[in-house]
Homo-oligomer: A and B are copies of this chain.
Amino acid sequence: MRKRFTLQEYKEGVLSGDRTKLSQAITLAESSLESDFALASDLVQEVLSYTGKSIRIGITGVPGVGKSTFIETFGQLLLDSGKSVAVLAVDPSSQKSKGSILGDKTRMEKLAGDKRAFIRPSPTGSTLGGVSSKTREAMLLCEAAGFDVILVETVGVGQSETAVKSMVDFFLLLMLAGAGDELQGIKKGIMEMADGVVIHKADGDNQTSAKKAKSSYENALHLFPLGENNWSTPVMTASSLNGVGLMEIWEMILDFESKMLRSGFWESNRAEQRLNWLDENLQFLLSKFFLEHQQVQKMLTQNRSRVENGELSPLALARDLISTFFHSNQKL
């Protein structure tokens, strides 16, 4: 059975940078127990004024693009620059990619062995909605523990990218040269979400094709509209194998940070993300109460496929479900 601590114990542990207590606090935040939720929520509130000082970087790319190797090498470089680094993963890796059943820690041995780094293996068996909101909490807890850079890793094939994009300052997309078949794996829409694109594994025989891919993507992205931050997405090449191009990526991110701080986008983006997080939480909790309602559940199970095949109007079912929900709730 898992041991709980008091709010004060968690808070002091996290703020002092105690890795074990930080881990335990994240576990608390990831718990689905009602009582843990209350405590975790109080803890986040308690440490809130100590958060927000890190650079939050989302990293995505299909399995095989070398995310773990990249994070291992990139993280090392950050440590060497005097930054402390926390790595969080959004997707349950055991479900999504092969060979990582032992957890993320075994994929990033050097980083995991370094005391200035903190790697949080991905939670398994959780739903996306749950995991994504918990990742935000984990991120804030890591910030309160004093980490300078938070890397949030996600696999670019599911729905988690939008969630990660909505909680980071910078969203990095790793790609492979060749721009052919391997593209099929990336989900449509992710290219336009990226703040930076890296053609990874640009080493050995790949160097020429990586350079070619870089220039193709530069031309392509040039044709696409800029976001409201007015940032034109750079395309770079990098090799984690021999460490080439990684410092340039870090400099690019620092350039982004300084431009966005100057324009005010950095803070306005974070403010918007906080409000989105509020909305997400409200929707999540409302849906939760709604879907746990027995009559609602029954009615939905019986009629969902009738909506799906066009027999029953979504409007009609929605109206019935809502009135069932509020009617019986009011009777309580």
Q: A-side interface residues toward B, CB under 8 Å? A: 37-38, 40-42, 44-45, 48-49, 51-52, 137, 179, 183-193, 216-217, 219-221, 223-228, 270-271, 274-275, 277-278, 281-283, 285-287, 289-290, 304, 307-319, 321-322, 326, 329-330, 332
Decide: B183 and A223 in contact? CB cutoff 8 A: yes
Closest to A37 in B: B319
B184 touches A308 (CB 8 A): no
* CB <8 Å contact, A317 and B220: no
Q: What are the 3 tightest A-B residue pairs by CB atom distance, in nearest-first order?
A: A220-B220, A281-B318, A278-B314
In the assembled complex, which residues on chain B have CB atoms less than 8 Å from the CB atom of A221?
A: 220
Cβ B188 vs Cβ A224 within 8 A: yes
B225 to A44, Cβ gap below 8 A? Answer: no
Known contacts A270-B310, A310-B270, A315 near B137 by CB under 8 Å:
yes
Is there contact, CB below 8 Å, between B224 and A319? no
CA separation between A182 and B130, bound complex, in Å?
A: 40
Beta-carbon nearest neighbor of A188 in chain B: B227
- Name A326's contact: one of B223, B283, B289 (CB within 8 Å): B289
A286 engages B322 (CB within 8 Å): yes
Contacts of A45 in B (CB 8 A): 312-313, 315-316
Residues of B within 8 A of A287 (CB): 282-283, 286
Which residues of B are found within 8 Å of A309, using beta-carbon distances? 271
Find out whether the CB atom of A315 lies under 8 angstroms from the CB atom of B191.
no
Are A310 and B192 interface neighbours, CB within 8 A?
Answer: no
Nearest chain B residue, comparing its CB with the CB of A191: B224
Residue among A184, A191, A224, A313 having the largest count of chain B Cβ atoms under 10 Å: A313
The distance in angstroms between the C-alpha atoms of A314 and B167, with both chains bound, is 13
Question: With A189-B192, A281-B318, A322-B289 in contact, do A310 and B52 touch (Cβ < 8 Å)?
Answer: yes
> In the complex, what residue of chain B is closest to A213 when comparing beta carbons?
B223
Partner of A41, one of B42, B187, B193, B316: B316
